[in-house]
Amino acid sequence: MNQQNESAEPRATSNTESASQASAPPPAANSPEQQGGDSGKRRVGRRAGRSATREEILNAARPMFAERGFAGTSIRAIAREAKVDPALVMHYFGDKEGLFRSALELPVNPREILSKVIEGDREKLPERIITTFLAVWEGPVTGEAMQAIVRRVFGEPDSFNLVRDFMGELIIESLSPALKDVPEEEARARISLVVSQMLGFVLGRYVVGLDSLQRMTHEEIVTYLEPTLRRYLLADLGDIDTSAGEHS
Amino acid sequence: MNQQNESAEPRATSNTESASQASAPPPAANSPEQQGGDSGKRRVGRRAGRSATREEILNAARPMFAERGFAGTSIRAIAREAKVDPALVMHYFGDKEGLFRSALELPVNPREILSKVIEGDREKLPERIITTFLAVWEGPVTGEAMQAIVRRVFGEPDSFNLVRDFMGELIIESLSPALKDVPEEEARARISLVVSQMLGFVLGRYVVGLDSLQRMTHEEIVTYLEPTLRRYLLADLGDIDTSAGEHS
């Protein structure tokens, strides 16, 4: 679960580029700025013998990012901690974001992916967000790494068992009587969608602390979330072609 | 953050009952079944000198719940671990759920609250869920405890700083150009609502592992979530009476 292996070497990720799925833009692991180094646009991959230094930089970077946050950590400070020249940090990781992605072992460049997502037909933006999201989170190459990261960031599996067993089941069981006119499996799916929205809201407002969510008044929250929960619980959820089953 | 004090003594919580807010049903800390003990319906509160035993039971219960989950842990096993009679566990905590709530320091009984939420006008169910949710998560008595629990369950604050600084800001910054025709603050609010839904979906499907979310195909996920994201990003979000400002 807590593996620290550097499977996502930023310079040698040609197979990551095959991680695109179905209708989604490909998650690109190599951002152009990450390629910048001492040798122009050369893409020849790993340099044997230097990986120890690279690892030392990452080992210095992780606790500093964790303690001071992304904004509060400088390349210079990390270089000082790792006892290397800042130019060497840039050489290996391109910029602070590249270093951060490597420290987190992010297999994709979220900025690059998102910049592609917003291109194109505005009416299809919501769908593009979801399909890209699924391609990244469940793609054959990126999925495992992304899920490992989120498990690492959001604590211990033990706790999650409890959340699932107790809160998940308890919420589903407690709310089910309100949906007694639909089949049980549908009721569970509907309530679990409600749980997904409210769980994300809890995390975003109280734990991660996203400014915009924290600033919302109770009245705004009701106004914004009520139609979402109404649709998940009471409305037609839309036609599903059950013959597809593309979920692995 | 990690305080282990037993502020939510299940037998002496009269002030918890004042935690109800505005239009929400009161979060009730004392479930009826929790009152059952050696002395019928007596509600006379703490017994001095026994809290050490109570604490020992909780200390035995916490790691067992964490390792084996709620379903995999029995009152009998906890009693054996704490070297007390199972009847004494029942005496202090009523039943396994009561013990679990105390082990988590849950200041409310979610089952009881939810059973009240589903009573009444079905059309108002979505709103009741949200207002009750806010009363529990931000009520003067229950809010702090609930937020402390979720922080404890979902890992370390350090990680959250990173998620907020990097992912939160990066996602907002990257998606903002798609909403360049709305004021910046509104764009941030809209995108943060999208983040709240997708974050909860990630947690629910990949981390907590709610069955119903895990079973959904990609096509179902798009069908279910697309209208939510469409409304958050592109639709009229509804009238907000900005004069209210009830959020403390």
Check residues A169 and B80 and name the one with the higher pLDDT: B80
> What's the CA gap between A82 and A105, in Å, rounded?
18
Q: What is the pLDDT along chain B (248 residues), one digit of tens a residue?
A: 333 333 333 333 333 333 333 333 433 444 333 333 333 344 444 444 567 899 999 999 988 887 888 888 999 999 999 999 999 999 999 999 899 888 888 888 888 999 999 999 999 999 999 999 999 999 988 998 888 888 777 766 666 777 788 778 888 989 999 999 999 999 999 999 999 999 999 989 988 889 999 999 999 999 999 999 999 999 999 876 555 444 44
Do A219 and B156 count as a contact with CB atoms less than 8 A apart? no
A25 pLDDT higher than 80: no
Do A207 and B154 count as a contact with CB atoms less than 8 A apart? yes
For residue B113, what are the CA distances in angstroms to A29, A135, B127, B134? Answer: 46, 38, 14, 12
A223 pLDDT higher than 80: yes
Q: CB under 8 Å to B115, separation ≥6 — which residues?
A: A174
Shortest Cα–Cα distance, A48 to chain B (Å): 31
A5 pLDDT higher than 60: no
Nearest to A210 among B154, B164, B174 (CB): B164
What CATH number labels B14-152?
1.10.10.60
State CA A234 to chain mean position distance. Answer: 30
- Check residue A116 and give its pLDDT: 92
Contacts of A219 in chain B (CB under 8 A): 240-241, 244, 246
> What's the CA gap between A185 and B125, in Å, rounded?
20
Residues of chain B with CATH 1.10.10.60: 14-152
Contact A230, A190 (CB under 8 A): no
For residue B144, what are the CA distances in angstroms to A35, B13, B80, B137, B224? Answer: 46, 15, 33, 8, 33
A36 pLDDT higher than 50: no
Contacts of A185 in chain B (CB under 8 A): 212
A100 pLDDT higher than 50: yes
Interface test with A, best of B97, B198, B199 (most A CBs within 10 A): B199
Do A154 and B239 count as a contact with CB atoms less than 8 A apart? no
Nearest residue to B114 via CA among B17, B27, B36: B27
Residues A5-18 have a mean pLDDT of 36
Percent of chain A scored above 90 by pLDDT?
Answer: 47
* Dihedral sign (CA A203, A206, A209, A212): positive
3-class DSSP assignment, residue A53: helix
- Check residue B194 and give its pLDDT: 96
Contacts of B218 in chain A (CB under 8 A): 22, 131, 134, 138, 244, 246-247
Cα angle A242, A243, A246 (rounded to 5 degrees) comes to 90
Domain A14-43+50-152 CATH class label: mainly alpha
Encoded amino acid at B189, one letter: A
What ipTM describes this predicted complex? 0.72
Nearest to A127 among B111, B201, B222 (CB): B222
- Check residue B150 and give its pLDDT: 81
Contacts of B150 in chain A (CB under 8 A): 202-203, 206-207
Nearest to A246 among B115, B202, B219 (CB): B219
pLDDT digits (tens, 9 = 90+) for A41-62: 444 444 445 678 999 999 999 8
Do B153 and A159 count as a contact with CB atoms less than 8 A apart? yes
Nearest to B208 among A163, A218, A227 (CB): A163
A19 pLDDT higher than 60: no
Do B204 and A199 count as a contact with CB atoms less than 8 A apart? yes
In the predicted model, what is the mean pLDDT of chain A? 78
Contacts of A210 in chain B (CB under 8 A): 164, 168, 192, 195-196
